[in-house]
Structure 1
Amino acid sequence: MSMSSNRPHENDPLAPHRGRLLGLAYRMLGSRSDAEDVVQDAYLRFAGAQDVHNAEAFLVTVVTRLCLDRLKSAKAQREIYVGPWLPEPVFDAEGLSADAATELADDLSFALLLALDRLSPMERAAFLLHDVFDTPFPKIAAMLDRTEASCRQLASRARRAVRDDRPAPAATPDSHARLLQAFSDAVASGDVRQLAELLREDAVAITDGGGRKFAALNPIIGADKVARFFVGLAGKIAGQDVRIAPAVINGAAGALLYLDGELDLTLSMAISGEKIAAIYIVRNPDKLRHLPTAGMH
């Protein structure tokens, strides 16, 4: 479901909160389409509510609780998901900003989203509300119906896990784009050794086909294996009409690959120092439908 048909008018009093709410829901769920559904549902609940003194606090609470409910069913769905799961890629990261002065406010990277995905739903909520959206713990306690001490503990546990999971330090945008270009050139040349030199020794490639498109059923780990995988992939599509378009995916340089005029996959990467730490390929058509360029010739 998309919000486009029911989107409130721009002069709606809730419009200023929409990006922040979508940003929270997307970080909680890893799905842009689910995030839009949740925000739409929260909007409808607000419209039917009586005596709301603080619209934003009401909406953030409702969105958080709706996301926690969805994460319960998502866990069951994930257990039958074919192959590795990746978030839905987004092009409008700036529109999903937390609008807060926190270190992670603008981070929508797959690396962070995957780190969040390994947390419990409550840890994820407490961490996002405090460390990303700068919400004070007393308010978080009310939203999650937990004690303030419990919420501090949840956020602290999550913070340690995220710190351990995210590649660091992050590359500058220039070096990120440069490595992406060097990666593309090495794949095109078919030079496995040249490609492997761009990767960290423990580099990982994750491909999400969701059982709908061909993809590796397990993460590919190690510079040499990752390099051989991508050179092999390039060989398989060599005879087709291939077009690669640069794109900003989840706030960082990435690429869209079209086969015979249809969007086939998005490619993005995590950089650690001056090496590629992880490569993320999304092929699942359900996760590409919402992209504005899908089907572009």
Structure 2
Amino acid sequence: MATPETRWPGTWYRMRVRLPRDREDEAAGIAAESGAIGMETRPAGAGAIDFVCWFESTASARRAAGRFREAGFPAGPEGIVPVRDEGWLEAAAAPRPPIRVGRFEILTEDAGEAAAGSVRVVIPLGRAFGTGEHDTTRLCLELLDLLLPPGGRVLDLGAGSGILAIAAALGGAAEVVAVDNDPRVLDVLARNVARNGVRGVAVVRGTWSCLAQEAAFDLVLANIHRTALVRGARAIGRRIRRGGRAVLSGFPPGDVGEVRAAWAAAGARPLTERRTAEWAAIALEMER
């Protein structure tokens, strides 16, 4: 269903650069400061990645291309590529069938009632990430269904549409903090919380640094970039009580070892994981 916050794209502008894996953060910073609306990394051989980013205008794409060149990251041979999907509007406006993951059933407002015994989460199509269709969201929902502590305190980092935070609240969490540092999606997140009629969900603009270190969450959900998960392992881990869990996703299977090692150094032990061909999610428990 089209909603006031639904964003109808016409043409996107894509750019691809190849760079050493250890300079991914630098490239992500350049893209974000240049106005990128999406980023993706793909393996490109030993020690290298293809960094792909999308922009809403040629001006912002050209600005990023210039900054990439200054940093020694020349754009790929295709340059700035306009990407248009003529059927996107009709496809996006069409009702979607419910998505079932464990006890959770994700619906748009046009999809009817949830099945008996399921937890109904309504997420209309909009501009914030997290509609239940992406593999990482599904993997996180699967692990949330497995690990959600009844009556617990849950933190959702990079909450996007709020799908995980809302599922946690409806699934039995007593308190949920949904954090996102993108002001463009906070209104969507807040509306989705209200739309689902859930109580005990606080919407916060920022990152984990805005939360007290003694926050003592029972479960942290973080479907965000691999680099943030690796670099933030200790800081995020300090906000999880001993014996609490973390569900992490947003990275391909090849990055599982790196993410797991960073969290092991922060005092976490692996519990379980879920994978598709392109994406992975892991669950860990804090031992200290």
TM-score, normalization: structure 1? Answer: 0.29
User: Which protein is richer in helix relative to its size?
Assistant: 1
- Higher Rg: 1
Greater RCO between the two (CA within 8 Å, min separation 6)? 1
